[in-house]
Structure 1
Amino acid sequence: MQSGGDCSNGFHGDNHRELAWEDKQVAGLSSFGRAKRRSRGGARDPKGNLPNGLRVSDQPGEHKLLETQESPAPCTDFDVAYFHSYAHVGIHEEMIKDRARTETYRQAIMQHQSFIQGKVVVDVGCGTGILSIFCAQAGAKRVYAVDASDIAVQAKEVVKANGLADKVIVLHGRVEDVEIDEEVDVIISEWMGYMLLYESMLGSVITARDRWLKPGGLILPSHATLYMAPISHPDRYSHSIDFWRNIYGIDMSAMMQLAKQCAFEEPSVESISGENVLTWPEVVKHIDCQTIKIQELDSVTARYKFKSMMRAPMHGFAFWFDVEFSGPASKNSSATSVASGSSSVTSSGEGNPKKRTNPSDALVLSTSPEAPPTHWQQTIVYFYDPIDVEQDQVIEGSVTLSQSKENRRFMNIHLEYSSAGRSFVKESVMR
């Protein structure tokens, strides 16, 4: 999601305190139209109301409304706008055309076919239904394909066109609202947002797990890890900021502060290369989908300590993630990416690189700058002004990612960082 919206002349000066604007307006469709991520949960009747629940019996095709004992969290205007944005075919086209994403999921399904064949599967946020169909092709007994967006209507037609209506049951509603009258063996979901946690869809996977998954059941992906590292990106800075110094012989440098505000106020989703990364990455959050609790997603804080591998201007921090597709018997394994051929690198407490091993041939989908490109790209939090760092210079601080109180699908980013005796704070909101 590129930086967007209105810009002001406000600039917080040399202390590098970079505060996001307060935007109290209800998000419209244009806001979520830029999001390009998951559509999950909130079927509506023609008046815009949510049903109390949709129950599905053990017999495919039998549907009935059910009054649930506990009311789920209400569907907000933000949720409605979010779900509506995923009715647009372009978002699903972008995701399906992401070969690293789609082929890794298909490979993971086939790699775990023994867990899927003859079993019951839930696809959380099914979109057009492609993952549900992959599971049916792998021999699933039954697949519940759940999506709140109106794309569920097309998913049902896609399922019919492929002769799988007897196996794949499309449920148009939120995971929090629909009811399934049986335990399930497998949960599959492509829930990851930009910077992994943006859009807060993992909560729906956790809800599905706690409601329906059998003990020892399979969740794909099984693990996720969010990384961060400082970067140098002089070309991007020059293109957006230094451009204003001289235009057709005219000194327009008075525009530079406003340009910085507009270009770097919000996180930027873009592609960088490994050459832009100044240090080995640090882990911000590791997620085990079998055990994580929804409350853990409210706020994530991590401390970091980097050592620059070169002399360069530091323009900000980059964030990316890996997800791993491990079976129940290999929960503690780490992996090298089988699909992309890339490897993820973590650092030891002393800052020395440690390449992950591959004892169980677990499959990994990586959005690292060194991996094949995906539609997630990387998320960059830019500074308004670069910081010059020397080789072996230490950069340390903390990062906190929290759900916005304004809209839980937005993410607040609070960065504290210090280097060479100078300390800074950067705050922004990913909308």
Structure 2
Amino acid sequence: MILGWRNFVHFFTSPGSSTSLLLNPFSHSQVYAIEASDIAVQASEVVKANNLSDKVIVIHERVEKVSIQEKVDVIISEWMGYMLLYESMLSSVIFARDNWLKQGGLILPSHATLYMAPITHSERYSDSIDFWRDVYGIDMSVMLPLAKQCAFEEPSIETISAENVLTWPFVVKFVDCYTVTARELESITTKYNLTSMLRAPLHGFAFWFDAEFNGPSTFPSNNNLLSGSSTSDLYSNVYNNQRRQKAKSDQVLMLSTAPEDEPTHWQQTILYLYEPIEVIQDQTIEGSITLSQSRENPRFLNIHLEYSSGGRSFIKESIMR
């Protein structure tokens, strides 16, 4: 995490990257680069090698244990995890914001939105499951229950395309880094009601996120999104508005991990169903999703998914460890 003050001061997490160095040659900033892992040792050597020790101070410690005596102008942190919140460092950003950020200061990224959508992925399902129906002429279909459990018990990190997505995306959680609290991240629950755009087997649900780099702004809460309407048209309007904002690069800078955009190392997080559901065009897919921090480790994510379609209802529970 980078913290900054004096003429322009930064607070930066994960100085193992070169960001803390890139900030300095163009300003008279003071930079505090805070990193809990041992990469902080190498980061310190890089700072020395570039004669920036007077401007970039690398602190090898957890953010929550650091003592900073002045307020800072900017907080920069790459806190996003898979599915946005898995192994997330957002709680450290919140701690730094509440303790050190000046009024009117900047947080980057400033906002993030977690989306989900039902998907179809016959090739992936077949590769994992149908193989056992005929293994070089041997019927091993008795292995199917175990194969499904092994393949789909936990979320999968992989890249899909826009063609795999069955409905308009749904906003699971909007995060305003200027106002979000640690408590509201402990458990997130929201209901969804979506409409399939084509006839295909429903194999699971995909999750991805956008991260925006901007100043403080307002965005409707999930409750406001749901009030008055829960149709796919509402979610498509929200999603399309954000797509249009992204296209206007002079107004907003956005990192997208969506299936229709260039792949990133975050890819998409897929929660596969044990049994596919055949859906037709305009068929409703509804239910609820709960994401909660694990008591075992707050950076782990418990997932409770309820889904119904075509008169059938199911529950899928999983843990991202």
Normalization by structure 2: what TM-score? 0.91
- Aligned match of 2:27 in 139, 147, 151? 139
The Cα of 1:117 is off from its aligned counterpart by 9.8
- Partner in structure 1 of residue 61 of structure 2: 173
Letter in 2 for 1:226: L
Q: How does 1:245-394 map to 2 (within 5 A)?
A: 245-328=133-216, 331-332=217-218, 349-352=230-233, 353-354=236-237, 355-356=240-241, 357-358=244-245, 361-394=251-284
CA contact (8 A) 1:175 1:204 kept: yes
The Cα of 1:252 is off from its aligned counterpart by 1.2
CA contact (8 A) 1:117 1:139 kept: no
The Cα of 1:227 is off from its aligned counterpart by 0.1
Give, in whole Å, the separation in 1 of the partners of 2:153 and 2:173.
Answer: 24
- Partner in structure 1 of residue 52 of structure 2: 164
- Aligned match of 2:95 in 180, 184, 207? 207
- CA offset digits 1:28-78 (Å, max 9, x no partner): xxxxxxxxxxxx8xxxxxxxxxxxxxxx9xxxxxxxxxxxxxxxxxxxxxx
The Cα of 1:165 is off from its aligned counterpart by 1.4
Decide whether aligned partners of structure 1 residues 414 and 140 sit closer, same or farther in structure 2, where only a CA change above 3 A counts: farther
Give, in whole Å, the separation in 2 of the partners of 1:350 and 1:117.
Answer: 50
Decide whether aligned partners of structure 1 residues 283 and 134 sit closer, same or farther in structure 2, where only a CA change above 3 A counts: same
CA contact (8 A) 2:71 2:101 kept: yes
Query: What secondary structure sits across from 1:122 in the alignment?
Result: strand
Give, in whole Å, the separation in 2 of the partners of 1:284 and 1:420.
Answer: 23
CA contact (8 A) 1:200 1:408 kept: no
CA contact (8 A) 1:116 1:139 kept: no
Give, in whole Å, the separation in 1 of the partners of 2:31 and 2:212.
Answer: 22
Give, in whole Å, the separation in 2 of the partners of 1:234 and 1:138.
Answer: 51
- CA offset digits 1:86-107 (Å, max 9, x no partner): xxxxxxxxxxxxxxxxxxxxxx
CA contact (8 A) 1:414 1:427 kept: yes
- Partner in structure 1 of residue 9 of structure 2: 120
- Aligned match of 2:285 in 383, 395, 416? 395
Sequence identity, in percent?
A: 64
Decide whether aligned partners of structure 1 residues 163 and 262 sit closer, same or farther in structure 2, where only a CA change above 3 A counts: same
Give, in whole Å, the separation in 2 of the partners of 1:242 and 1:383.
Answer: 15
Decide whether aligned partners of structure 1 residues 179 and 268 sit closer, same or farther in structure 2, where only a CA change above 3 A counts: same
The Cα of 1:261 is off from its aligned counterpart by 0.6
The Cα of 1:302 is off from its aligned counterpart by 1.1
The Cα of 1:190 is off from its aligned counterpart by 0.3
The answer to whether 1:429 aligns with 2:319 is yes
Give, in whole Å, the separation in 1 of the partners of 2:103 and 2:254.
Answer: 24
Give, in whole Å, the separation in 1 of the partners of 2:184 and 2:265.
Answer: 26
Q: Which has the higher strand share?
A: 2
Stretches of structure 1 that go unaligned for 5 or more consecutive residues are: 1-39, 41-55, 57-114, 335-345
- CA offset digits 1:315-338 (Å, max 9, x no partner): 00000000000134xx2489xxxx
Letter in 2 for 1:149: S
Give, in whole Å, the separation in 1 of the partners of 2:17 and 2:166.
Answer: 40
How many residue pairs get aligned? The number is 305
Letter in 2 for 1:121: H
CA contact (8 A) 1:272 1:378 kept: yes
- Partner in structure 2 of residue 228 of structure 1: 116
The Cα of 1:161 is off from its aligned counterpart by 1.8
Letter in 1 for 2:179: T
- RMSD of aligned residue pairs (Cα, Å): 2.1
Decide whether aligned partners of structure 1 residues 276 and 134 sit closer, same or farther in structure 2, where only a CA change above 3 A counts: same
Stretches of structure 2 that go unaligned for 5 or more consecutive residues are: none
The answer to whether 1:192 aligns with 2:70 is no
CA contact (8 A) 1:229 1:278 kept: yes
Which stretch shows the higher mean deviation, 287-296 or 131-140? Answer: 131-140
CA contact (8 A) 1:123 1:143 kept: yes
CA contact (8 A) 2:194 2:231 kept: no
Normalization by structure 1: what TM-score? 0.68
Give, in whole Å, the separation in 1 of the partners of 2:93 and 2:84.
Answer: 14
Decide whether aligned partners of structure 1 residues 140 and 186 sit closer, same or farther in structure 2, where only a CA change above 3 A counts: farther
CA contact (8 A) 1:129 1:158 kept: no
Letter in 2 for 1:390: I
Decide whether aligned partners of structure 1 residues 116 and 135 sit closer, same or farther in structure 2, where only a CA change above 3 A counts: farther
